[in-house]
Amino acid sequence: MSKLFPLHVKGASVRRGRKLLVGPLDLVLDAPGITMVIGPNGAGKTSLLRMLHGIARLGSGSIRWACDDTEARRRQAFVFQSPIIMRRSVLGNLAYPLRLTGLSRAEAYAKATQAALEVGLQKMLDRPAPFLSGGERQKLALARALITAPDLLFLDEPCASLDGRATREIETILTRAAAAGTGLIMSTHDMGQARRLATDVLFLLNGQIHERGTAECFFTQPTTAQARAFLKGDIVE
């Protein structure tokens, strides 16, 4: 079991000005795997991920990991819908977080080369990262997030703007990471993707966790009318 878990969220909320984006929430997460955060647009999916990761300021409540905050941040990573890419080569992007940990240039570049191979970017090591395609950028962002072996990876709709082939490649990387023991908490608007990947589901509605369960139970026997309507493709408010 990761030193991060269990995670205890008590009365936590995030606001933008006077608008409540998500919460107040009470939540306990105590298992790895792939937790999918789903819900209609505006439900608070991104705000929830940012809140849990600590990059959205709490308006109320608390978030407690099993380890201290400094250690918890070190053991996490975040991949955004629009990947943040540095103006360096693919190899330089991948080596950067390793250099921050104190690895020598040679060690960092060796590990970065292996990471590029694992996501299919081995022929692009010297290519400037800003010139990559959307799918290639997202693979680079994933590889850079995973290269330090985090216990937990947050992903905010990482395949939202990708075609089918790129989505399949990203899902393969995510499945492999989960099998290796990295916990994933990921938002998606793609119910096909959620069904393929999820072990657990958080269904958000109006900033609240409206329903929670294992993927098998949620997708076959949702317990609320709103969840059933959402899975049918109906508009849920």
Backbone angles phi, psi at 13, to 5 degrees: -150, 160
Angle at 25 between CA 208 and CA 161, to 5 degrees: 50
Give residue 53's pLDDT: 96
Q: What pLDDT is attached to residue 32?
A: 75
**Which residues, including other chains, have CB under 8 Å from residue 107's CB and lie 6 or more apart?**
98
- In tens digits, what is the pLDDT along the chain, a chain of 237 residues? 568 899 999 999 999 999 999 999 999 998 779 999 999 999 999 999 999 999 999 999 999 999 999 999 999 999 998 888 899 999 999 999 999 999 999 999 999 999 999 999 999 999 999 999 999 999 999 999 999 999 999 999 999 989 999 999 999 999 999 999 999 999 999 999 999 999 999 999 999 999 999 999 999 999 999 999 999 999 998
Q: What is the pLDDT of residue 99?
A: 95
194, 38 contact by CB (below 8 A): yes
Please report the domains of the chain, with CATH numbers, ordered by start residue.
Answer: 7-85+150-232 (3.40.50.300), 87-131 (no CATH)
Position 83 scores a pLDDT of: 86
**Dihedrals phi, psi of 188, to nearest 5 degrees:** -155, 150
Q: Residue 237 in 3-state DSSP? A: coil
**DSSP conformation letters of 156-204:** ESTTTT--HHHHHHHHHHHHHHHHTT-EEEEE-S-HHHHHHH-SEEEEE
Helix (H) or strand (E) holding 7: strand 7-16
